[in-house]
Chain A
Amino acid sequence: MIVAEQKPIRELVEMVKDFQKILVLGCKGCVTVCNVGGAKEVGVLASALRIWGRKTGRDLQVGEHTLERQCDPEYIEELGGIVGEYDAVISIACGVGPQFVSERYPTARVFPGVNTKFMGGAVAHGIWSERCAGCGQCVVHYFGGLCPIARCSKSLMNGPCGGSADGRCEIHKEVECIWDTIVRKMTEQGRLNELIEFKPPKSWTTARDGGPRSMIREELVK
């Protein structure tokens, strides 16, 4: 899933301090799963804004709405009769959400309520971890099913570097050295010889470096 975290309330109120009617817009997709942008969080943020409004003497009207997904035009249409009633929309979907809303409703003032962090998953309750860099050419099978592009601080294809110590990355003791894990796993699988092979430079044409990306599947295009 796409993992996000809520922006600090101070940053949010600074964004919307000049508006009176504010819609908090949630999403039932990834951000609901990572407990940051679903219906529950819409309610919490709306309450926080109302409290801030009262404390600062503002006559705020805060609306709440949660879409099935904010990354799908079909659901964005649902806002047709709603967006026009507000001065500002705070989308607490990932970075896709505020853009889909902005693109569909050109006059709306849309603000991001969360910071989109990475593609990953929950490794324990309340702990999420990055797994994919979206490079567009998956190579995890060469590395014991683990991705050095997303998970090595230097994206090394031929690691580990000289900063690996006790299974930890040189940048921080909290960060796993994924190359240490890759070496151990490949050794256990009796596949060390595959790691000793030189991995040539990666083509980044399929990654963001190749320019903004889109994808067309002809059989699905009407």
Chain B
Amino acid sequence: MSEFKSGSNLEKVLKAGHFAFTGECGPPQGANLEALKEKARHLKGCVDAVNVTDNQTAVVRMSSWAASLVLIQEGLEPNYQMVCRDRNRLAMQSDILGAYAHGIRNMLCLSGDHQKFGNHPESKNVFDIDSMQLIHMVKEMRDQGVFLNGQEIDEAPRMFIGAASNPFADPFEFRVHRLAKKVAAGADFIQTQCIYNMPKFREFMKQAVDMGLTEKCYLLAGVTPMKSVGMARYMATQVPGMDVPDELIKRLKGAGKGKVAEEGIKFALEQIEEFREMEGVAGVHLMAIEWEHRVPEIAERAGMLPRPQI
């Protein structure tokens, strides 16, 4: 038996004690492979793994596993996202088998945004199991070699299991307990929601550290640089579970015309600098939404390059 759970690059980087740096890539709203490969080229060499979203915000896109395979072909390591909204336990397990068989080694288990937000609000949702149960199912598939029904698997999929945590959703006091549940259910690593409210995040991290959670899993802090004041306002008011303090919006406004994006990047860099020193934070998850071409510059300026080769 290998010393690793899945042997993914992300797992190796984290186990070796490096400060991890992951990126994100939304698959195209079509079968346009060139667009996907273009995004991938910007991220290559800058991150340890790339999250591949699963119909994010309930908008139809190329499937996460298919886009993940393209990333593998392009020499990047995917972090295959799966939501509970669109699949029942049969489809989930069969997709996990297929994904693993084709070389996918990281998985992020999510509930998924409600379809009301997306481009098919008339659809029927599934939610056969929830994200907590999905985490546990993937762990049992890996560690016990069994399907959810207890039946043995002929060659079990061995995934490095990820989960999300949103320290900014309510009720705040319960958030660290839900994180603890995810760790107990089998999460090996956690990627947080985009962080803008630093005082609240510091408080959350203190709770997580005090409960010993960061010794049981790797926690990657979520960072999304603000591109514009409009984006900051949109995030503040339209995106569920997002906490954007007024001071940040003021700071971006104060940067002046043509300089807001640079100010957004500066804020992100300050955050990353703090996360590197913050107890319990094992890395940063950079979600540069439709801004993949700026990732190399951000990685460079954040001192994240070169990425460790293991």
| A interface residue numbers (CB < 8 A to B) | 153-167, 170-172, 177, 180, 183-184, 187, 192, 195-196, 198-201, 204
Which residues from B are CB-within-8-Å of A160? 169-171, 174, 178
Considering the complex, which residues of chain B in the window 241-264 have a beta carbon less than 8 Å from any beta carbon of chain A? Answer: 241
Which residues from B are CB-within-8-Å of A196? 177, 180-181
B181, A162: Cβ atoms closer than 8 Å: no
Which residues from A are CB-within-8-Å of B128? 201, 204
* 8 residue pairs bridging A and B, Cβ less than 8 Å apart: A154-B127, A155-B127, A155-B130, A157-B132, A162-B240, A164-B241, A165-B240, A192-B174
A156, B111: Cβ atoms closer than 8 Å: yes
Distance of A196 Cα from B175 Cα, bound (Å): 11
B170, A161: Cβ atoms closer than 8 Å: no
Count chain B residues whose beta carbon lies closer than 8 angstroms to a beta carbon of A: 37
A201, B129: Cβ atoms closer than 8 Å: yes
B184, A198: Cβ atoms closer than 8 Å: yes
Distance of A187 Cα from B170 Cα, bound (Å): 14
Report if B85 contacts A (CB, 8 A). Answer: yes
Knowing A160-B174, A162-B164, A198-B185 are in contact, say whether A170-B240 is a contact too (CB < 8 A).
yes
Most chain B Cβ neighbours within 10 Å, of A161, A165, A200: A161
A154, B85: Cβ atoms closer than 8 Å: yes
Which residues from B are CB-within-8-Å of A154? 84-85, 111-112, 114, 125, 127, 130
Query: Which chain A residue has the least Cβ–Cβ distance from B136?
Result: A198
B130, A158: Cβ atoms closer than 8 Å: yes
Per-position 1/0 for B155-186, Cβ under 8 A of A: 00000000011100111011001101100110
| B interface residue numbers (CB < 8 A to A) | 84-85, 89, 111-114, 116-117, 125, 127-133, 136-137, 148, 164-166, 169-171, 173-174, 177-178, 180-181, 184-185, 193, 240-241
Which residues from A are CB-within-8-Å of B193? 162
Which residues from B are CB-within-8-Å of A162? 111, 164-166, 169, 193, 240-241
Candidates B170, B181, B184; contact of A165 at CB < 8 Å: B170
Distance of A167 Cα from B117 Cα, bound (Å): 19
Knowing A162-B193, A170-B241 are in contact, say whether A156-B148 is a contact too (CB < 8 A).
no
